[in-house]
Chain A
Amino acid sequence: MGYLDGFRVTFRKLFEERLTKDYSKHTGGKRTKPVRLHGRHVLNRYEDGMEKCIGCELCAGVCPARCIYVRGADNPPDAPVSPGERYGFVYEINYLRCIHCDMCVEACPTEAITETKLFEFSFTNRDDSIYTKDELLVDDDGRARRMPWELWRGGEDDQTSAWMRVTSPSGDADYEGKVSWSAELGYGVRPPEKGQSG
Chain B
Amino acid sequence: MSWLTLANDPLLSGDVGWTVVLFVIVKTLIAFGLLLVGVILMIWFERKLISDFQNRVGPNKAGPWGLLQTLADGLKLIMKEDLIPDKADRRVFILAPFLSAVPAFVVFSVIPIGGAFDAEHGGVLHAFGHDTYMQLADPPPGVLLILALSSIAIYGVMLAGWASGSKYPLLGAVRGTAQMVSYEAALGLSIVTVVMLAGSLSTHEIVASQAGAGYSLFGAIPIPRWNIIATGFVPFVVFLIAATAELNRPPFDLVEAEQELVGGFHTEYSSFRFALFYLAEFMNTITMSAIIVTLFFGGPAGPVLFGWGWLSGLIWFSLKLFVFLFMFVWVRATLPRFRYDQLMNIGWKVMIPLALAWVMLLGAINIARDEDWNLPAVVIGAFLALVAGWVILTGAVDMARRRRSAELTEEALN
Residues of A whose CB lies within 8 Å of any CB of B are 6-7, 9-11, 13-14, 16, 18-20
CB distance from A12 to the nearest CB of B (A): 10
Interface membership of B87, Cβ < 8 A: no
In the complex, the answer to whether A10 meets B53 with C-beta atoms within 8 Å is yes
Interface membership of B57, Cβ < 8 A: yes
In the complex, the answer to whether B335 meets A20 with C-beta atoms within 8 Å is no
Which chain B residues lie closer than 8 Å to A7 at the CB level? 330, 334
In the complex, the answer to whether B56 meets A10 with C-beta atoms within 8 Å is no
Q: Cα distance A13–B330 when bound, in Å? A: 11
Which chain A residues lie closer than 8 Å to B53 at the CB level? 10-11, 13-14
In the complex, the answer to whether B56 meets A6 with C-beta atoms within 8 Å is no
In the complex, the answer to whether B55 meets A13 with C-beta atoms within 8 Å is yes
CB distance from B154 to the nearest CB of A (A): 29
Which chain A residues lie closer than 8 Å to B334 at the CB level? 6-7, 9-10
In the complex, the answer to whether B335 meets A6 with C-beta atoms within 8 Å is yes
Nearest-neighbor residue (CB-CB) of A17 within chain B: B55
Tell me the residues in window 11-53 of chain B with beta carbons closer than 8 Å to chain A beta carbons: 52-53
In the complex, the answer to whether A18 meets B335 with C-beta atoms within 8 Å is no
- Candidates B55, B330, B335; contact of A16 at CB < 8 Å: B55
Total number of B residues with any Cβ neighbor in A under 8 Å: 10
Which chain A residues lie closer than 8 Å to B52 at the CB level? 13-14
Q: Cα distance A6–B250 when bound, in Å? A: 14
Number of A-B contacts (CB under 8 A): 25
In the complex, per-residue mask of B55-68: 1 if CB is within 8 Å of any chain A CB, else 0: 11100000000000
CB distance from B61 to the nearest CB of A (A): 8
Which chain A residues lie closer than 8 Å to B405 at the CB level? none
Known interface pairs A16-B55, A18-B55, A19-B55; 18 further A-B residue pairs with C-beta atoms within 8 A, sorted by A's residue number? A6-B334, A6-B335, A7-B334, A9-B334, A10-B53, A10-B54, A10-B333, A10-B334, A11-B330, A13-B52, A13-B53, A13-B54, A14-B52, A14-B53, A18-B56, A18-B57, A20-B56, A20-B57
Which chain A residues lie closer than 8 Å to B330 at the CB level? 7, 10-11
Nearest-neighbor residue (CB-CB) of B54 within chain A: A13
Residue among B57, B334, B335 with the most chain A CB within 10 A? B334
Q: Cα distance A10–B331 when bound, in Å? A: 9
Offer 15 A-B interface pairs, CB within 8 angstroms, sorted by A: A7-B330, A9-B334, A10-B54, A10-B333, A13-B52, A13-B54, A13-B55, A14-B52, A14-B53, A16-B55, A18-B56, A18-B57, A19-B55, A20-B56, A20-B57
Which chain B residues lie closer than 8 Å to A11 at the CB level? 53, 330
Which chain A residues lie closer than 8 Å to B54 at the CB level? 10, 13
Nearest-neighbor residue (CB-CB) of B55 within chain A: A13
Q: Cα distance A20–B60 when bound, in Å? A: 12
Q: Cα distance A16–B54 when bound, in Å? A: 10
Which chain B residues lie closer than 8 Å to A20 at the CB level? 56-57
Which chain A residues lie closer than 8 Å to B57 at the CB level? 18, 20
Sorted from nearest, which 8 A-B pairs have the closest CB atoms? A10-B334, A10-B53, A6-B334, A20-B57, A10-B333, A13-B55, A14-B52, A7-B334
